[in-house]
Amino acid sequence: MTPRARGIAALLALALAGTAHADCISITGPAYGQDFDSLASSGTSSTLPAGWAIRETGTSGNANGLYAAGDGSGTAGDTYSFGTGGTPPSGERALGTLRSGTLLPTLGACFVNNTGATIDALDVAYIGEQWRLGALARGADRLDFQYSLNATSLADGSWTDANALDFSTPNLSGTSAGARKGNDAENRAAISGTLSTLALPVGGILWIRWNDFDASSSDDGLAIDDFIIGLPGAGIPPKLKISDAIADEGDAGITPLFFSFTLNKPAGAGGVVIEYATRDISATAGSDYTATTASVTIPEGETSVVVSVDMLGDTAQENDETFAVDVVGVTGVAIEDGTGIGTIRSDDLVITPIHDIQGNGATSPLANQFVNVIGIVTGRKGNGFFLQASDAEADADPFTSEGVLVFTGAAPSAEAAVGNRVRVRGTVVEFARPGQLPITEISGSPSVVRLSSGHALPSPVPLAPEMTDPAGGFGQLEALEGMRVTGSLTTVAASDGFKTPYNATGGINGILRAVITGIARPFREPGISVLDPIPAGGTSPPIPRWDGNPEIITIDSDTLAASAGLNGATYQLDLPAGSVIEGLTGPLDYDFGRYTLHRDPMVPINVTAMPQPRAARAPSANEFTVAGYNMERFYDTIADANVDDDVASTTAYATRLRKASLGIRDYLHAPDVLVAIEIENLRVLEAVAAKVNADAVAAGQPDPQYVAHLIEGHDIGGIDVGVLVKSAPVASGKPRVGAVSVSQPDTDPFFEPDRYLNDRPPLILNAVVNYDDGRAFPITVIGVHQRSFNDTELDDASGERARRKRLEQAKFLAAEVQKIQSASPSTRVVVLGDFNALAFNDGLGDIMGVTAGTPVPDEETVTPGDGVDLVDPDLLNLGELLPPSERYSYSFDGQAQTLDHVLVNEELVVTTRAASVDHARINADFTDTNRSDANTPTRMADHDPVIAYFDPRPVADLAITAMANSAVVPVDGTLAFTATVHNNGPEAAESVGVGFALNAVLPTMAVAAPAGWNCDTAQVDAGRTSVACHASTLAKDGDVQFAITAIATPESAHATVSLAAAVDALSLDHQPGNDAASASLEIAARVDLSVRITGPAKKLHYGDFAPFAVNLGNAGPYTAKQATMTLRGDAPATTVSIHAPAGWDCTVQPDGTGRFEAVCGATALLAIDVNQHFDVVVNVPSRPDSTGFLTLTAMADSASLETTPADNSASYSNRIVGVP
């Protein structure tokens, strides 16, 4: 508690618990109080005030039962002793929490009734303090107050909400998140209420607790202080607050500022004595005001008193200045607001036009200068208002804006009403968040003076698509900053909002993301946004950057209305993505990386809300389907032990079951396998299955007879991955899907000591899909839910841990897939679910690339080691086959993106005719207001379910044979082949194709095909001639025969013509060795060879060398292939020599009988009409007498067709004389 409130303790009767309940606080007197100043102020500790307790669950190392001393600057989830800083500085403490994704804190206390009588009611009061703002532009975080009459600790029992005692973030303003001073008035709230109908008996135990609500984005640091609990009327002290004050300083002399101290109920006996003191903020005591330290009393029975502080006038050109009046001591009250702000409004001015302040560049030429500016108020918001010059005051430069934001830091005064012409005094500031564009503001506690009222607002500037070129970068609307604009905008995401998924509740907050109508919907792109720093010292290149989609415009549909005193909720636009808003008009702001159009509530608009929910396509009769659905924290109504689960109401649980059933049956068409993600336990998944099955029967649909399978993981929130398997029988009596096994990986390593790598381990289903005709298709389905993006962008240890864990999970999953593929290459694998990763390298890591075996080089990401390739063959992401406009399952910050992927391995691809994906468009594009509507599937969750379709290929062993109808075919003759295709089964072959190719240019090639077959015309390419034939099917055991013919051309003379035949089909062929065949024949040319032999006319004389001449010719009409001349004679081979013409080779060999045989072969084709002359010399052998002869015979031959064989041989014979 603050020093100002220390007197509270003196009013309270404090008593410790008796021996029966030594750990609880005894209620023996009227009231008990706790200021928490005994908490540790440094380091960590487990020491708490008696009776108080904390509980920490989660995977964080801080879930250790210790609290840490902090001042709100820390970002880690933990229980905290908040303190230091504040106004005035002190060492006081407050007990608080900061929730994170890995730590869920609860704090509370127990009390025992030792009053001697039943307690029917208790008054509770405390001060809620905000020590940290976790994120901008979101709703308030809160501490939820509950009590229990049967609990024995913070973790058990049944609890009742007491919402009046909840503490919600009091201060959402500011330009950046971070530490807040919990003792400052704007960061505190006085909370009080009554716990009624307790009927707490003597000795009975009452537990109270504060649960830290899970806010979107980073949570706030919230704490409790100055706690009081007591019997009704026991003296809960009044609450004290001090007012603010403002006045013109004057040119000289003294002007008083008046401050009021006010109680919420009359002061008690003796009154309330208040000690107060002034403190400099931007004003300086002595020159701007008179420092004051004094005391004042609110008399008994009164509720207020007024004090004054003197301002000192001057004529200096300066901004408005402020000082504080702090309560520094008080007794008998609780301080609700202990600081009053005095504003010294400067009244010395020179007017500067708005366009001169804005300039025609990205920043103001008058930055950091004090200015006076006049304009018309065009819109008010919670921390400022928009000011614009009248149309008549605008300059002629289109690049200078005529509007500006006046930043007041809190709600603007009534002076700044819309339509008022006002004078503003302040400092020109270029406000910019890290990495973002600056926006020109009038800031520095500006003063506002109304000059006149009722003015027409300046004319809005029409917006056109070319003003926000998607490739044009940020800053394209700089010239319109702060001005009124108008146009038609198309939403690119559903209206932002808030949700409690497990309780089927949600709403909208008035914020939308849109583009100027005519611009395409933006999608998330590879790399790190140019608006975000690259952590871990990374640089670009090589790390990719993406442009952040500068075409997106934020729409704030209700802020101006609410700030104008209207019911802002009636102006909030509840629209799905794709809706068109025509005539949207208002001032253009810039913050959080986006230009923001604030809707003017006075200007009518025309809205076309689109689209309606859209079902995924229905599967064909031959397809089976596998779907994945992140069902977003699907809890039932039971609080389970040993897990930090949420508990749904009975109505909410029934609503969610109904919505899930509608989505699964009507929009996913009851998939054969459904991987269900974020399911509390098997009990819940069985309830989903039972609901779907029953609803299907009631609706006249086939009963899928879903069977649920789920294995618990390690997630602190109790969410798991499960699977629904359709067990309805097919015609054979077998289940549609037979689950062979359901398991998790054999090992799940520790990522850190006592921390599993996989909070939600992959779930592996081995199953068989059965068909009515008896076919069976084995499939392995791996369901996944990987670590989220949370904290991955941080440049600290927690960011490094988050990135590393995501990578290690991806590597683990990749290794598991590879293990399956290596052990059984024929296993068909589909990996699907919520990967919490983009399909491409997001710059922080390439999670999908690592998982699929297609990683980018390691240096192209922030995370070391993610260039590793662990999968071969690679996996295919089926989502990349979708049209680009359909590649999303989730929407974040206006960017459509895919987090839910379907990966398949090569074996699954080759064993299916087709594989594809679709989405049921029932969640991502719709707002959270749909969550409670049980009659529609929309927004049951925040992800669109993904569904994959697989069309199995039939199995057929096709075989082909080929033969030539003759071995030789003459030129100009018809060459003919016969090919036969046979289907060995076991199923009919589909989309059968047969190809025939001849290795020659034979354009007359034709194929005579059987009925039901179609053959293309012959195609000639690269010296080959081919024909393709195809048919839709070939029955099991069917045969078809093809006749292949062609006319042999002269160019093919002497060639060996080969037919290559091959058969293929869309069906699977497990025996590919018989899918090809070949046959050959020769193309022979016609020739007319002749041979003559001449020799000596006189008798041959023994021992002489007798000359002979052999002449061979080719009368055509074609050259002769492989021409030969064979000469035989009755002389020893050693006595014979032959001189052959060029291009011939001759050999002379004995024939074994004393005779010789000479064979001469042409080394090239034998030309037409060219005489081939062979000179033969024979050493005339001896004979027994002079009656013996020498006889020679010459023969001509070739591989060609001989037309006149009669002249293909010739002989010579002569007597040998001179026999010795």
Give per-residue pLDDT as tens, 977-1003: 999 999 999 999 999 999 999 999 999
Whether cis (ω within 30° of 0) applies to the bond prior to 1072 is no
pLDDT digits (tens, 9 = 90+) for 898-928: 999 999 999 999 999 999 999 999 999 999 9
Cα 383 from Cα 406, distance rounded (Å):
9
CA–CA separation, 272 and 266 (whole Å): 10
Report the percentage of the chain scoring pLDDT > 90. Answer: 78
Check residue 232 and give its pLDDT: 80
For the chain, what percent of residues have pLDDT higher than 70? 97
**According to the model, what pLDDT value does residue 962 have?**
97
pLDDT of residue 12: 33
DSSP letter string, 365-419: TTTT-EEEEEEEEEEEETTEEEEE--GGG--S-TTS-SEEEEE-SSPPPGGG-TT
Average confidence (pLDDT) over 137-144: 87
Residue 233 has what pLDDT?
66
For residues 697-714, give the mean pLDDT. Answer: 98
Structural domains of the chain ordered from first start: 3-236 (2.60.120.200), 240-345 (2.60.40.2030), 354-536+547-604 (2.40.50.140), 624-952 (3.60.10.10), 956-1084 (2.60.40.1530), 1087-1217 (2.60.40.1510)
pLDDT of residue 16: 27
> What number of H helices and E strands is found in the chain?
8, 80
Give the helix/strand (H/E) hosting 687: helix 682-698
The length of the chain in residues reads 1220
pLDDT on residue 90: 53
Mean pLDDT of 429-440: 90
Confidence at residue 47, expressed as pLDDT on a 0 to 100 scale: 93
d(CA 937, CA 629): 13
pLDDT of residue 4: 35
**Number of Cβ within a 10 Å radius of residue 1064:** 18
Average pLDDT over residues 1087-1101: 94
| Predicted pLDDT at 1051 | 86
Query: In one letter, which amino acid is 752?
Result: E
Question: What pLDDT is stored for residue 10 in this prediction?
Answer: 31
Q: What is the pLDDT of residue 235?
A: 60
Residues 6+ apart with CB under 8 A from 850: 807, 810, 811, 814, 866, 868, 870
1134 vs 18, more confident: 1134
Q: What is the DSSP string of 864-907?
A: TTTT----SSPPEEGGGGS-GGG--SEEETTEEE--EEEEE-HH
Q: Please report the pLDDT score of residue 378 as a whole number.
A: 98
Amino acid at 652: A
Q: Residue 31 pLDDT more than 90?
A: no
pLDDT higher than 70, residue 1137: yes
CA distance 569 to 919: 32
Q: How far apart are CA 236 and CA 238, in angstroms?
A: 7
* pLDDT given for residue 91 in this prediction: 64
Tens digits of residue pLDDT in 234-254: 666 778 899 999 998 888 899
Instruction: Kindly give, in sequence order, each residue whose CB lies less than 8 Å from that of residue 604, ignoring residues fewer than 6 positions away.
Output: 583
Q: Which burial class, exposed, middle or buried, applies to 280 when counting CB atoms under 10 A from its CB (0-12, 13-18, 19+)? A: middle
| Interval 1084-1089 mean pLDDT | 91
Give the pLDDT score at 546. 95
Give bridge partners of residue 917 from the DSSP assignment: 948
Mean pLDDT of 1112-1120: 92
Neighbours of 233 (CB within 10 A): 8
Q: Determine the Cα–Cα distance for residues 1122 and 1139; give it in Å rounded to an integer.
A: 19
Q: Chain-wide mean pLDDT for the chain? A: 92
In this model, does residue 98 exceed pLDDT 90?
yes
Nearest to 11 by CA among 394, 269, 265: 269
Rounded to an integer, what distance in angstroms lies between the CA atom of residue 432 and that of residue 444?
15
What is the pLDDT averaged over residues 184-205? 90
Kind and range of the H or E run holding 97: strand 93-98
Among 821, 801, 802, 831, residue whose Cα is nearest residue 723: 831
The residue ranking higher by pLDDT, 800 or 20, is 800
Q: What is the mean pLDDT of residues 142-168?
A: 94
The answer to whether residue 723 scores a pLDDT higher than 50 is yes
Structure-token pair, residue 948: 């994959």
pLDDT (tens digit per residue) in 298-318: 998 899 999 999 999 988 877
Is 90 exceeded by the pLDDT of residue 29? no
In whole angstroms, give the CA distance from residue 749 to residue 1173: 90
Rounded to an integer, the average pLDDT of 267-277 is: 90
* Pairwise CA distance, residues 704 & 692, whole Å: 8
- What is the model's pLDDT at position 1157? 96
The secondary structure of residue 1035, as a DSSP letter, is -
pLDDT in tens, 608-662: 988 799 999 999 999 999 999 999 999 999 988 877 788 999 999 999 999 999 9
pLDDT the model gives residue 957: 96
Nearest to 976 by CA among 1074, 1121, 1062, 1079: 1079
pLDDT (tens digit, 9 = 90+) per residue, 557-613? 999 998 888 888 899 999 999 999 999 999 999 988 899 999 999 999 999 988 799
CB 626, CB 832: distance < 8 Å: yes
Element (H, E) at 357: helix 354-358
Is 186 exposed, middle or buried (CB count within 10 Å of its CB: 0-12, 13-18, 19+)? middle
Q: Is the pLDDT of residue 87 over 80?
A: no
- Looking at residue 685, the DSSP 8-state letter turns out to be H
Across 112-131, average pLDDT: 92
Q: Would you state the pLDDT for residue 2?
A: 41
Nearest to 804 by CA among 861, 853, 871, 854: 861
pLDDT band at 508 (very low <50, low <70, confident <90, very high): very high
